[in-house]
Amino acid sequence: MDSILELARKESARQHETIRLIASENYVSRDILEVLGTELTNKYSEGYPTKRYYEGQEFTDAIELRAIEAAKRVFGCNYANVQAYSGSPANLAVYFALLNPGDTIMGLNLPSGGHLTHGFKVSITGKWLNSVPYSINPDTHLIDYDEVERLAREHKPKIIISGHSAYPRQIDFERFGKIAKEVGALHMADIAHISGLVATGEHPSPFPHADIVTMTTHKILRGPRGALILTNDEKLAKKIDKAVFPGLQGGPHMNNIAGIAIALEEAMTQSYTTYTQQVKKNIKALGEALMERGYDLFTGGTDNHLVLVDLRPKGIDGDTLGKALIKANIETNKNAIPFDPAPPMKPNGIRLGTPAVTTIGMKEEHMVQIAEFIEQVYQNVDNDQALAEIREEVKQFMNKFSL
């Protein structure tokens, strides 16, 4: 039996040899990997900087304050909480801080590309709160802002959530803000997927149109597992801090917060701006190459870092293609397309993103090769020998790039 360390080494090797097209995955820098494995993991730092419940916080306070200041600079806000363990706990902290059980929220429904924590029925947010989801227009496949406005006027939600997990187009934060203000709601923008694009101006910022902004730090932002909760409102900030601790969590994970601080400081560099620009160039090139090979892109393209591929014209489901792709060392995730009649475990789509492949140096020409690999897998979906041969080609292809 392999030791845990050996399994970790095997995962490292797998990442070196695999084309990673999962939109929510990335590679962190060596500095972040190093700080995650330091003795910071030994330290309990319950509370907030200068107001801890344990002694010996000289360096942990300095680290958390660096992370907070970096978050404020990167996203142009006045207050930042960096302690939430991940994106879902961050969203839950906002609800816990500002809502009571049964209060109404509005978020993009999951089948239209929203997130579980935006009020979907199987999430605690859909059970604890009254969720009134909005959706995309069945004709344009874009968010139906007129529907959002109509539902907001009818149901008078306490919070309207903008953001997504599988929506390839730009979010109109200004329109959301106006709708929320009109009905007396707070506007919470969840920018987990597009945070890096927002940080570098490659997507419009939710500020000043959002009252609260949440995000994960481990996607395009290229940090470790964690989350940020941002606001410009001091009263909201105090409520959110109390909701995170002591409301939902105990001691923060200081090694992760140190990694988040590094990621945020990296996000202020010119090389990171260049990176996010290349992410968008790469996903556009990948999408175009796929369409040339007969794949249908939901909405016909993308404005951000991901494409949602409708596989129905190819006569295959996302689960079958995804399992064949991983046999060829191409990592994707199956994903329902809006109004998908197929069951969740056999959806008609796959979601592809370029944050990870861009981090290791891939450019537009490499996206064409990736599209060809995908097509080769599709043509040989039931041929394990052919898939093994493609896997060897993929390994050779990946040898050109370095983590």
335, two tokens? 């994903």
Q: From the candidates 216, 354, 358, 359, which is the catalytic residue?
A: 216
Closest residue by Cα to residue 117 from 262, 232, 215, 13 = 215
219 counts as catalytic: yes
CB contact at 8 A, 356 and 279: no
44 counts as catalytic: yes
Amino acid letter for position 373: F
- Report how far residue 168's alpha carbon sits from residue 305's, in angstroms, rounded to the nearest whole number: 7
DSSP 211: S
Q: From the candidates 219, 222, 334, 351, which is the catalytic residue?
A: 219
CB contact at 8 A, 259 and 36: yes
CB contact at 8 A, 117 and 108: no
Long-range contact pairs involving 141-144 (C-beta distance under 8 Å, separation at least 24): 141/298, 141/299, 141/338, 142/169, 142/299, 143/108, 143/112, 143/167, 143/169, 143/171, 143/172
Placement of tokens 């969203």 in the chain: 91
190 counts as catalytic: yes
- Let me know how long the chain is: 403
Q: From the candidates 72, 175, 225, 395, which is the catalytic residue?
A: 225
225 counts as catalytic: yes
Q: From the candidates 46, 61, 288, 364, which is the catalytic residue?
A: 46
Q: From the candidates 190, 202, 310, 317, which is the catalytic residue?
A: 190
On the 0-12 / 13-18 / 19+ scale of CB atoms within 10 A, 232 is middle
- Report how far residue 137's alpha carbon sits from residue 130's, in angstroms, rounded to the nearest whole number: 23
CB count, 10 Å around CB of 49?
Answer: 16
Q: From the candidates 17, 25, 31, 44, which is the catalytic residue?
A: 44
388, two tokens? 């093994």
295 counts as catalytic: no
Beta bridge partners of 230: 80, 213
CB contact at 8 A, 84 and 117: no
27 counts as catalytic: no
DSSP track, 263-324:
HHHHTTSHHHHHHHHHHHHHHHHHHHHHHHTT-EEGGGS-SSSEEEEE-GGGT--HHHHHHH
Closest residue by Cα to residue 326 from 269, 268, 387 = 387
Please enumerate in sequence order all residues whose Cβ is within 8 A of that of 281, keeping only pairs 6 or more positions apart, or say none.
Answer: 363, 364
Pairing label, strands 79-81, 227-231: antiparallel
Annotated catalytic sites, by residue? Answer: 44, 46, 190, 216, 219, 225
